[in-house]
A and B are shown apart, each in its own frame.
Chain A
Amino acid sequence: MSASRSSVTNIVGVFGNVEAASQATYQLAHSGFSRDNMTVMTAEPYPLGAFATRTKKSFIHYLSLLGGAGGLLTGLAFAAGTALLYPLPTGGKPIVAWPTVGVITYEFTMLGIIIFTTLAFLFFARLPRRQPGLYVPSVTAGKIAVVVPCRGEERAVVAERMLQVSGAEEVYRRDTPARRWDEL
């Protein structure tokens, strides 16, 4: 992993149609390119398995639950806790009135889920990013970009050729500082 600390060569293939791009990724995977390291950029979401790339499962909903739990406790603290901090009787009703505590707690729980889900999305998708990293602007115009990071010239040439053979409209190299692969 730490062999080439300085930079890594990425082969970028830009495809005009999805079948060709899909085929290219599967062929690359067959010839030993890591499924985890390849990246595919698209303008619309494709079903899982359309490309040979492997994506990580999303754990966002677990953080949503965490947010919900946090919201619940916050709601309890506000609705029941603050009433106990400064008890003022109103309307002959109890200081901690559970039905109203329920309403407030419910809203805080939902707010917690909403905020944590958003934060989890940003965290897991590594957004917002200051620099777009390796990006192909024609993706938003309907192209599909396949990015293959390669160690060593030999592999790079192989990848280049495979992309071209699969029908890429454009293939070029881009060097990026070597960080973790998935941060591309």
Chain B
Amino acid sequence: MKKLLFIYITVVICGCSNLSTKKSPELNEFITEFDDKPIEEIKEEVNKNIKQFESFTKFFDGSFANEIKKIGKEDERYESEFKIDTTGVSKSLLQFDNVIFSQEFEDYQSSLSFGFKNPEKRKPLELGQGVSQTFVPKKIYYHNKEVKTDSIANYEVDFIFSDNWGKAKIIDSVDVLFKVDYLKDYDVVEVSLENPVVNYQGGEIRLVKAQDNYAYVTLSDTIVSVTEMQAYNMDGKILDNSGSSNNGVAPDDSEDIFTEMLDYLKQIQKKLNNDDFKNTEEFQEYLRKNMKSLDFFHDNDGVFHKEYYYYGTVNSVKLYFAKETDTRETLFRAYNVKPFSNDDELFEMNTEDGLVFLNNKGETEISITGLDQGVAKIGGDFYEDNNYFYHLNRSKKSLDTLLVYDIMAFDNGLIGIQPEQKDDDITLFNSDNELINDKKYWNVREVGAILFGYRNEKWYIISAQGEERLVSGVSRVGDKLSDDRILVSNDSKYGFINTRGAIVIPVIYDDAKDFERGITAVKLGETYKLIDIRGKILLDTEEDDINFFGEDGDGNRIYKFGYGAKSYNYKGDLIEK
């Protein structure tokens, strides 16, 4: 942990960002890390870390293996011209109606990772050049009814990794503001070998050096930051970029920075090994006085240095500056993928001392030590690890091991258990591991948030209390709930039920699809018809076969019949060819 911090901070300090006045907090943070640490331990760590740092600097040497070299015409690589691409902007605003997040807890902190309910969608759409997307959390709705709006803007909405979202407390949902900033208009400034200096925005842009594949440009630090930089070769072709670095200090200096830093660290190491410091405070005082005087921390030249490497011989460089940007935004709500149904539900958290169970206020209710690996919650008070299933016994404050074949959790709070093997019937339990009814189901399935159970060749809707409601006259139940309708069938005919299990559209159709936006296609008699959620026929397509649905630009369904002969949009309007 500490080693990583050391390296991270050193890299950040020596790294490639413009540190003028912002350095001090980092420096201080670095120094305060040593508080309460015995000097012996510091000595040991520095000795170890210097070795790592040395190999690290070797990595940074030569700027990522980029060097000035001649690249022949046949090895040149090109890219396309910078262009504002806002085609995806409107579509991107519509993609957030089914966002979920999963929440994990460790060491009394909570972390969230976001995703989409549709498993095929992994992350938000990527947009073109000149467009930036940001997510700003606006409200956190905790399960204990608290709503937090302040100090949350910095929490990251990450669709790949999980990020820290504050103290451990169950979050039911989050309101997030999605902003798209896109370039509406931009300025282009070109510097070239013939014309290396250009004035812009009261500052100067200078092509200091262009040699073979290398371009070194400086910009006065009064100029706004560059959106994009592209290099052209002699024939006017845009060269592909192979590496770059942006510094607050001039290039030649940065290499010296590394060696200076390393020398300085070695000095510290020597002093530590000589026991020059009586205690940690003396050491910290020394650091405070000395690090500030390092050359590196002085960036006085008032200029941004940009070095770029390309796959080709650079002749000129175009810099694109944002002139006018526009913003579009939308607010969406993301839901916890494992919603808590009971108010007294607990959630597990791994800490250094063992496994801890917290209530939804974040208070510890049960603490279990002696488990060598973490458990994951299945649902309710049921947990699992790699080898066993467990039930949290609240009165005994322990985990009871359940020697069963499989346990599955349903959204309505019920738990299904197969006691011995794959082909077993499923019996239903509540969160307290009590049998909820005495029925054995051959199959239990959730459609939307409705729990269906199949036994004795009949389907039932099962409530959170285990009460059954027979879905009569139905032998198969579909797997999608939309517009309060679920597709069902009886032998060869189709119909629809609502979420209370009542057949609201009779089971008379020869074919039927799920509803979307209040409309679906069914086949009655010889032809396909479009109906609404009351079963009313909106139109007869006069076609006798249906093709796979298409999708329009916004992701809405397109109905296709007769091998494409006729297409209807999601509203049921005929699409003209």
Q: Do the two chains bind?
A: no
Residues of B at under 8 Å CB distance from A?
none
Residues of A at under 8 Å CB distance from B?
none
